[in-house]
Chains A and B, each alone.
Chain A
Amino acid sequence: MKTINIYIFAGLLFLLSACQEVIEVPLDNTNPKLVVEGAITNQPGPYYVKLSQTGDFYSTAPAPKVTDAVVTISDDAGNSEVLTHLSDQPGTYATSSLQGETGRTYTLTIVHEGQNYQAQSKLLPVTNIDKLEVRFVPESPTKDEGYYIYFFAKEPQGETNYYRFMVYENDSLYNSINDLLVSNDDFIKGDIENLELGYAFQLNDEVKLEMHSISKEVYDYYIGLINIYNNDGGLFSPPPVNPPSNISNGALGVFRASSVVSQTVTITGEE
């Protein structure tokens, strides 16, 4: 439903052939805030937690990495592991033995510069992908020519479920902001058939689709992230706010636990 606004804005800009230019706007800078990106799944580990900090807006340097934190993941079954910092990937911490299990609740604890940060996420089950179909679509005003993938699944009804989809083409993840595909099942039928994935693939591409279960908090975070990325600061946009994080103590980012299912198809040209 969020796409409606985007259509409207696109129309508006088209109508007015607006003019854009870079201007100088002096900005204040915040005190550095901790930024967390962590995930645990029901797939075999290791699982990673990446820590960094906010930087000056106009700086072109990458975000400063946090390499000296103590990062722990524990579950509600009494398992706990302190993650190891990977010196070849500064800011990334990895598990070595922990195994994510559906139904358990995971707690991430970070101690950094005397501050304590915490997040919880429940590892929810996910439905299966029944099949993926491949069909050729000719060029049209709204679509590029190519092979499109159609998704089939049975979606459990009676409760609200949230999903994140990840698309890999020949093992590389689509990772722009437009590829951050999240969805809930409000207004969605139990039998999902022929749901088109918005990518035009070419012959011989190997495409993998992963479906991750996420919690409402994580879903709200992703929606907030997409909104803030698309917020143009204009009068039709809501006031800009940071995405709601599930991490305590003013940290940014998210910690999520997900069940994952996936399917892979190779585009052979057959319909």
Chain B
Amino acid sequence: MNVSKGLLLLIFCALFGYSHAQSKYTISGYIKDARSGEELIGATVYVQELGTGATSNAYGFYSLTLPEGNYTLLYSYVGFINQKKALTLTSGQTINIELSEESVQMQEVVVSAQKMDENVTEVKMSRENIKIERIKSMPALFGEVDVLRSLQMLPGIQSAGEGTTGLFVRGGSADQTLMLLDEATVYNASHFLGFFSVFNPDAIKDIELYKGGIPAEFGGRLASIVDVRMKDGNSKNFAASGGIGTISSRLTLEGPLVKDKASYIISGRRTYADLFLKLSPDEAINSNTLYFYDLNAKMNYKINDKNRIFLSGYFGKDVFGFDDVFGLNWGNTTTTLRWNHLFSPKLFLNTTVLFSDFNYGFDINDGAQNFQWKSNLQEYALKLDFNYFLNPSNELKFGSNTMVHRFSPATIKPKNSNSIFESFALDNKYAVEQAFYLSNNQKISDRLSLQYGLRYSLFQNVGPGRVFQYAPGVPKADNTIVDTVSYGRLEKINLYHGLEPRLGARFLVDQNSSVKASYNRMRQYLQIASNSTAGLPIDRWVPADSYIKPQIGDQVAVGYFRNFKDNMFEASVEVYYKWMQNQIDFKDGAEILLNNNLEAELLSGKAWAYGSEFMLKKNTGRTTGWISYTLAKAQRQIEGINNGNPYSPRYDRRHNVSLVLTHELSPRLSLSGNWVYTTGSAVTYPQGFYEVEGQRIAYYPQERNTSRMPAYHRMDLSLNLAGKKKPGRKWESSWNFSLYNAYARKNAFTIQFRDVINGDPGVSEFDDDLVINTREPKAVKTSLFGIVPSVTYNFKFQ
């Protein structure tokens, strides 16, 4: 509470403490890519005379208020040629700037006039921003460039296991990461059961990940925020791009609708593994279905200098079927409508109306055992985000977010009257989530800058709905329900609310190094109810309610940032400690999917995590990339698990090394490589066997996850060959050859303790005509991938 009061006081001081009499004028405008007209996010304007500057916001807008005088402004953005602008400031000015991309040849000629030292000078820490171009140059599984898998190469960010795209950030679980696509929540960001993510790299402009020091405008998850922004579409001329890969093909079309006023982009991707299945002569294979597709579309219209509208949408689906006996499909839909409005050159407002939907369904059609199962969750939101560029020392952000959630966890219907099943539906649940925030980015002195803010969030369960009352003093169960309270439409059921203070500080030690510190409190009102580590599409999201308390997480982090050799190298060390309350887990064998009173299966406790992250990055030259090392520990303590003692969750991994490198052999040819090493997952191994029902069954100890799987390591390589560039030529193409798991490490995906028949782990006791000679209990390792080669052809036309 005291932290919160202090923060409020600071903000008011900033607002009213700077009313000097000197006349000041505002320079504002948009910074764009000269080639495509796309607004650049996070481009900088630097005032050479004052040694201060501004950064463009998520819509490319910047604003600088300076005293009257002569200035030289330097506009810059990573990978683009700087632009200088000299001016005499005697009145407010609008300056829109277009920056041109550096071509490969120019990289060595251009001497950076301004230092790319953002990582040292910005207040934000624990923030990752990878350029989509970098992601595209990294070797990829099946040649499918994957945004989330690339993020897993950064320190503090882990996967659940081989190939999966869920993000486990600084000891948090996957559902503690908020995935935003043009501000809309993506509830299940995976395709193919987690092996690919829903973000089509061709449609994406920018990705930012916060794992600590999370700004006040974000909330709703404990561990991290992944803010993905879609491209707006080329506003200069028509362009087409795409690729043909091993498992999917992509096509993107973009162009102006009205030149420099309105543009569109439409981007699609579809896999075609199922087309190969059809070719199989084996009916057991060719009757199966398996594919996913994505469609991203966006258009924007600039009404005038003060108003602009964006409409964007994402639609994706996975379809999976065995014969006509079993079918499973799932997909996300998001729609975002945004309106940028400039009240003045200093005050920018973005209003967002959005809709997000995640649904899955399956179909079982096996004679009388037939039914259809549907599940769905929806979110409607209205967001107001103000940017107030008060003066070069203070940039305020404030706004609100109102979301309506609707959960429809399961509806089961028989497919016909012959079914042995009857119709059934779990109760729908409704909730309203709200947040208000205010934050300031304040320059206190040349050395010290602060970013502080306060977020206040509320979560209200509303009717229609019912709440079960349980007999006091006994465990909650079906048979201890003593009463059921019903609520009418919009009737208030339960309310949670609380403050979330956020604080960050940066102290410049010298021109090339800084020390930063941050604290944030996060509140999370939605979570996945699951007792396995990796997510499946059928996972159930549950809201906080009368029995499930909201998760609360606090994190402190301290870091040292230093750049070397004129910012050619960036180095950083960060140390964090996190503690989390109201963590839930489930009783052994809990029924989660089809349960109206989940509270009866619930266990709760706390969790904590700490670690240090080391990173060395090389930004310029023919060889670029990074090496990072993370030393971390994550623990959970839950009454009813591991005898109530702390234990390691599966994703607790002590050591984690990532190496990501790209080397330009020639302007047309580049070689990239990744190498990762992580400690094996924490797992429970058996301590014996017993015999029941004529079966040998492994005996497991009460202690959870005291063993470790073998360490995981893997190298990937790729070679990118670009076609010859000729001036005036509109067609560009490139080939990408990649090898996933280049040295064929057989990493353990699972280790199963079971009987092995005739010495061959591939033999099943249910195989036809099997003669069992030997039957021995063994540990059987399953590894998913050997070397996976792939070829992708990419093209661009404009």
Same complex: yes
| A residues with CB within 8 A of B | 1, 4-5, 7-8, 11-12, 14-16, 18-25, 27-30, 33, 35, 37, 52-60, 62-63, 140-142, 150, 175-178, 180, 186-189, 192-196, 220, 223-225, 227-229, 231-244, 252-254
Q: By the criterion CB–CB under 8 Å, are B368 and A194 in contact? A: yes
Please pick, from A1, A22, A180, A242, the residue contacting B700 in the complex, using a CB distance under 8 A: A242
Please, how many angstroms separate the alpha-carbon atoms of A19 and B420 in the complex? 39
Q: By the criterion CB–CB under 8 Å, are A11 and B783 in contact? A: no
Interface flags for B697-720 (1: CB within 8 Å of A; 0: not) read: 111110011000000000000000
CB neighbours (8 Å) of B160 from chain A are 235
- Supposing A196-B367, A244-B588 touch, asked if A28 and B779 sit within 8 A by C-beta, the answer is no
Please, how many angstroms separate the alpha-carbon atoms of A18 and B762 in the complex? 10
Please, how many angstroms separate the alpha-carbon atoms of A64 and B777 in the complex? 16
Q: Is B284 an interface residue (CB 8 A)?
A: yes
Q: By the criterion CB–CB under 8 Å, are B698 and A240 in contact? A: yes
Q: How far is the CB of A136 from chain B (nearest CB, A)?
A: 14
Q: By the criterion CB–CB under 8 Å, are A234 and B756 in contact? A: no
Please pick, from B273, B698, B751, B783, the residue contacting A19 in the complex, using a CB distance under 8 A: B783
Please pick, from B323, B325, B694, the residue contacting A175 in the complex, using a CB distance under 8 A: B694
- Supposing A19-B786, A220-B589, A238-B532 touch, asked if A35 and B420 sit within 8 A by C-beta, the answer is no
- For chain B, residues 742 to 798, give those with C-beta under 8 angstroms from any C-beta of chain A: 746, 748-753, 756, 759, 761-762, 765-766, 775-786
Please pick, from A14, A175, A189, A238, the residue contacting B693 in the complex, using a CB distance under 8 A: A175
Q: By the criterion CB–CB under 8 Å, are B779 and A22 in contact? A: yes
**Which chain B residue lies CB-closest to A191?**
B420
Q: By the criterion CB–CB under 8 Å, are A7 and B322 in contact? A: yes
Q: By the criterion CB–CB under 8 Å, are B532 and A177 in contact? A: no
Please pick, from B164, B287, B420, the residue contacting A195 in the complex, using a CB distance under 8 A: B420
Q: By the criterion CB–CB under 8 Å, are A28 and B687 in contact? A: yes
Q: Is B422 an interface residue (CB 8 A)?
A: yes
Q: By the criterion CB–CB under 8 Å, are B765 and A176 in contact? A: yes
Q: How far is the CB of A169 from chain B (nearest CB, A)?
A: 16
Q: By the criterion CB–CB under 8 Å, are A233 and B367 in contact? A: no
- Supposing A19-B783, A22-B779, A141-B284 touch, asked if A30 and B687 sit within 8 A by C-beta, the answer is yes
- Supposing A19-B746, A141-B284, A235-B164 touch, asked if A4 and B685 sit within 8 A by C-beta, the answer is no
Please, how many angstroms separate the alpha-carbon atoms of A150 and B420 in the complex? 12
Please, how many angstroms separate the alpha-carbon atoms of A63 and B688 in the complex? 10
Q: By the criterion CB–CB under 8 Å, are B420 and A237 in contact? A: no
CB neighbours (8 Å) of B589 from chain A are 220, 223-224, 227, 241, 243-244
Please, how many angstroms separate the alpha-carbon atoms of A175 and B283 in the complex? 30
CB neighbours (8 Å) of B290 from chain A are 11, 15
Which secondary structure characterizes the binding site on chain B?
loop
Please, how many angstroms separate the alpha-carbon atoms of A59 and B778 in the complex? 10
- Supposing A20-B782, A240-B700 touch, asked if A252 and B692 sit within 8 A by C-beta, the answer is yes
Q: Could you name 22 residue pairs across A and B whose Cβ atoms are closer than 8 Å? A: A11-B320, A15-B273, A18-B783, A19-B784, A25-B685, A25-B751, A28-B701, A56-B689, A57-B699, A58-B778, A141-B287, A142-B322, A176-B766, A177-B693, A186-B594, A194-B418, A229-B697, A235-B681, A236-B534, A240-B698, A241-B589, A244-B589
Interface flags for B669-694 (1: CB within 8 Å of A; 0: not) read: 00000000000010111111111111
Q: How far is the CB of B471 from chain A (nearest CB, A)?
A: 18
**Which chain B residue lies CB-closest to A60?**
B776
Q: By the criterion CB–CB under 8 Å, are B753 and A57 in contact? A: yes
CB neighbours (8 Å) of A15 from chain B are 192, 273, 290
Q: By the criterion CB–CB under 8 Å, are A35 and B685 in contact? A: no
CB neighbours (8 Å) of B688 from chain A are 29-30, 33, 54-57
Q: By the criterion CB–CB under 8 Å, are A188 and B420 in contact? A: yes
Please pick, from B421, B593, B749, B762, the residue contacting A234 in the complex, using a CB distance under 8 A: B749
Q: By the criterion CB–CB under 8 Å, are A252 and B690 in contact? A: yes
Please, how many angstroms separate the alpha-carbon atoms of A159 and B752 in the complex? 38
CB neighbours (8 Å) of B691 from chain A are 35, 52, 62-63
| B residues with CB within 8 A of A | 160-161, 164, 192-193, 273, 283-284, 287-288, 290, 320, 322-323, 325-326, 328, 362, 366-369, 371, 412, 418-422, 424, 531-534, 536, 538, 588-589, 593-594, 650, 681, 683-701, 704-705, 746, 748-753, 756, 759, 761-762, 765-766, 775-786
**Which chain B residue lies CB-closest to A192?**
B420
* Interface-centre pick from B328, B691, B766 (highest chain A CB count, 10 A): B691
Q: How far is the CB of A133 from chain B (nearest CB, A)?
A: 12
* Interface-centre pick from B288, B777, B779 (highest chain A CB count, 10 A): B779
Q: By the criterion CB–CB under 8 Å, are B532 and A196 in contact? A: no
Please, how many angstroms separate the alpha-carbon atoms of A142 and B288 in the complex? 11
- Supposing A29-B687, A52-B691, A236-B532 touch, asked if A22 and B778 sit within 8 A by C-beta, the answer is yes
Q: By the criterion CB–CB under 8 Å, are B782 and A53 in contact? A: no
CB neighbours (8 Å) of B756 from chain A are 22
CB neighbours (8 Å) of B693 from chain A are 37, 175, 177, 180, 225
**Which chain A residue lies CB-closest to B761?**
A20
Please, how many angstroms separate the alpha-carbon atoms of A55 and B701 in the complex? 13
CB neighbours (8 Å) of B695 from chain A are 176-177, 229
Please, how many angstroms separate the alpha-carbon atoms of A247 and B385 in the complex? 60
Q: By the criterion CB–CB under 8 Å, are B161 and A235 in contact? A: yes
Please, how many angstroms separate the alpha-carbon atoms of A33 and B690 in the complex? 9
Please pick, from B752, B775, B777, the residue contacting A58 in the complex, using a CB distance under 8 A: B777
CB neighbours (8 Å) of A235 from chain B are 160-161, 164, 532-534, 650, 681, 749-750
Please pick, from B538, B696, B704, the residue contacting A239 in the complex, using a CB distance under 8 A: B704
Q: By the criterion CB–CB under 8 Å, are A233 and B777 in contact? A: no
Q: By the criterion CB–CB under 8 Å, are A233 and B750 in contact? A: yes
Q: How far is the CB of A256 from chain B (nearest CB, A)?
A: 12
Please pick, from A4, A21, A63, A227, the residue contacting B761 in the complex, using a CB distance under 8 A: A21
Q: By the criterion CB–CB under 8 Å, are B779 and A241 in contact? A: no
Q: By the criterion CB–CB under 8 Å, are A239 and B684 in contact? A: yes
CB neighbours (8 Å) of B534 from chain A are 235-236
Please, how many angstroms separate the alpha-carbon atoms of A223 and B590 in the complex? 11
CB neighbours (8 Å) of A53 from chain B are 690
Q: How far is the CB of A223 from chain B (nearest CB, A)?
A: 6
Q: By the criterion CB–CB under 8 Å, are B784 and A16 in contact? A: yes
Please, how many angstroms separate the alpha-carbon atoms of A4 and B752 in the complex? 20
Please, how many angstroms separate the alpha-carbon atoms of A174 and B781 in the complex? 29
Q: By the criterion CB–CB under 8 Å, are B420 and A189 in contact? A: yes
CB neighbours (8 Å) of A16 from chain B are 784-785
CB neighbours (8 Å) of B418 from chain A are 193-194
Q: How far is the CB of B293 from chain A (nearest CB, A)?
A: 17
- Supposing A29-B688, A252-B699 touch, asked if A8 and B328 sit within 8 A by C-beta, the answer is yes
CB neighbours (8 Å) of A238 from chain B are 531-532, 588
Please pick, from A52, A175, A194, the residue contacting B690 in the complex, using a CB distance under 8 A: A52
Q: How far is the CB of B539 from chain A (nearest CB, A)?
A: 10
Q: By the criterion CB–CB under 8 Å, are B690 and A54 in contact? A: yes
Q: How far is the CB of A22 from chain B (nearest CB, A)?
A: 5
CB neighbours (8 Å) of B694 from chain A are 175-176
Q: By the criterion CB–CB under 8 Å, are A21 and B532 in contact? A: no
CB neighbours (8 Å) of A233 from chain B are 683-684, 750-753
Q: By the criterion CB–CB under 8 Å, are A196 and B689 in contact? A: no
CB neighbours (8 Å) of B412 from chain A are 187
Q: By the criterion CB–CB under 8 Å, are A55 and B684 in contact? A: no
| Cβ-closest 8 pairs across A and B | A234-B750, A25-B779, A235-B534, A30-B687, A63-B691, A54-B688, A238-B531, A20-B761
Q: By the criterion CB–CB under 8 Å, are A30 and B699 in contact? A: yes
Please, how many angstroms separate the alpha-carbon atoms of A102 and B375 in the complex? 41
CB neighbours (8 Å) of A194 from chain B are 367-368, 418, 420
**Which chain A residue lies CB-closest to B748?**
A23
CB neighbours (8 Å) of B420 from chain A are 188-189, 192-195
Please, how many angstroms separate the alpha-carbon atoms of A7 and B422 in the complex? 22
Q: By the criterion CB–CB under 8 Å, are B780 and A54 in contact? A: no
Please, how many angstroms separate the alpha-carbon atoms of A4 and B375 in the complex? 15
Please, how many angstroms separate the alpha-carbon atoms of A176 and B755 in the complex? 13
Please, how many angstroms separate the alpha-carbon atoms of A252 and B700 in the complex? 11
Q: How far is the CB of A39 from chain B (nearest CB, A)?
A: 11
Q: How far is the CB of B487 from chain A (nearest CB, A)?
A: 25
Q: By the criterion CB–CB under 8 Å, are B690 and A7 in contact? A: no
Please, how many angstroms separate the alpha-carbon atoms of A59 and B748 in the complex? 24
